[in-house]
Amino acid sequence: MTPPSPPRLRALRHVGLRTTAFEESIEFYQGPWGLTLVERDENIAYLRATGPEHHVLELHRSQVNGLHHIAFAATGPAEVDAAAEWVRAEGARILEEPGRVDRPGGGYAFRFADFENRVLEISAETFAVPEQNVEAPVPRKVAHCVLNTTDIDAAVAFYTRLLGLRVSDWSERQMVFLRTNPDHHVIAFNQHGWAAPNHVAYEVGGLDAFMRTIGRLKVAGHETAWGPGRHGPGDNAFAYYIDPAGLVPEVTAEVLQIDEQTWQPRVWPRTPEMSDLFRTAGPPSPYVREHMGGVADPGWV
Ligand SMILES: [Fe+2]
């Protein structure tokens, strides 16, 4: 039986990255970045924020930088099963059938490939973790993941139809911002010459925590690659860095909360005053743009 509608995903759980600087990146993300290493082996590391997820970042040792997978939350196994049937009926390639997960964090999940061979996971009933102070000036969750795509219209079609995400805003025809809960975006796409992860953003509990995070990184020798500033689309404060592998993490705060009943997507002109509401950051440098562009990622399957 085909379910009648796309899944209603509750949140972005975690992002897995393939990294060419595995050990150095573990040191960076559990050091000045402020995550906690909860488990690792020779090739995979799991890092936790202060929020309820078992982990928000997986690092996978690799010869090439890229995306490993993105995990979204459903509320229970029945929703996971229904989501699997939905994406299968829509023609997506199932990579792992729904079932109990024998990986750190546990849960009940399935995996499938998107139209550019990115691996997506939908899971439920993951392990509870000890409560921590989510107001501390360290990441409490993954706020969003931005992906470079060769076809932004195909990306919108796939992620709205198969995953039930909604368009929150456009940045001209260059970027599109997609939500699955009140956060303005959990996924965004950037039109580009190839598929690749553009950046992963980590949320802290407000502007004070945001500035303290920038300060901690600065004291540890890490200057911002772009920012601090405040984006027009999403209204979130931003500061971008380059990690030891050349991948781009962002610290963010105060992302716009959307009322599902009344929201109307807009198109933001890519002008300096609309791109950075603080007017502190200036335009991104060729250096940070090159790192956000990444290298062509065929997917890991
Ligand atoms: Fe971002």
Cα–Cα distance measured from residue 61 to residue 83, given in angstroms and rounded to the nearest whole number: 30
- In the predicted model, is pLDDT for residue 1 greater than 60? no
Domain boundaries, the chain: 11-124, 141-293
Q: Report CA(250)–ligand 1 centroid distance (Å).
A: 6
Q: Report CA(78)–ligand 1 centroid distance (Å).
A: 32
pLDDT at 12: 98
CATH 2.60.40.150: does it fit domain 141-293? no
Confidence band of 3 (pLDDT split at 50, 70, 90): low
Q: Report CA(85)–ligand 1 centroid distance (Å).
A: 31
Task: Give tens-digit pLDDT for 110-140.
Answer: 999 999 999 999 999 999 999 999 999 999 9
Confidence band of 5 (pLDDT split at 50, 70, 90): confident
Do the domains at 11-124 and 141-293 have one common CATH topology? Answer: yes
Task: Give tens-digit pLDDT for 154-176.
Answer: 999 999 999 999 999 999 999 99
Q: Which amino acid is at 130?
A: P
Closest CA to 33 of 199, 217, 203: 217
Q: Report CA(144)–ligand 1 centroid distance (Å).
A: 7
- Model confidence, pTM: 0.97
Q: Report CA(249)–ligand 1 centroid distance (Å).
A: 8
Q: Report CA(166)–ligand 1 centroid distance (Å).
A: 17
Q: Which residues are CB-neighbours of 249 under 8 A, at least 6 positions away?
A: 29, 33, 199, 200, 201, 202, 240, 241, 243
Q: Report CA(240)–ligand 1 centroid distance (Å).
A: 8
Q: Report CA(244)–ligand 1 centroid distance (Å).
A: 19
Question: What is the assigned CATH class of domain 11-124?
Answer: alpha beta
Q: Report CA(292)–ligand 1 centroid distance (Å).
A: 10
Task: Give tens-digit pLDDT for 69-100.
Answer: 999 999 999 999 999 999 999 999 999 999 99
Query: In this structure, are residues 78 and 150 in contact, taking their beta carbons and an 8 Å threshold?
Result: no
pLDDT at 236: 98
Q: Report CA(30)–ligand 1 centroid distance (Å).
A: 20
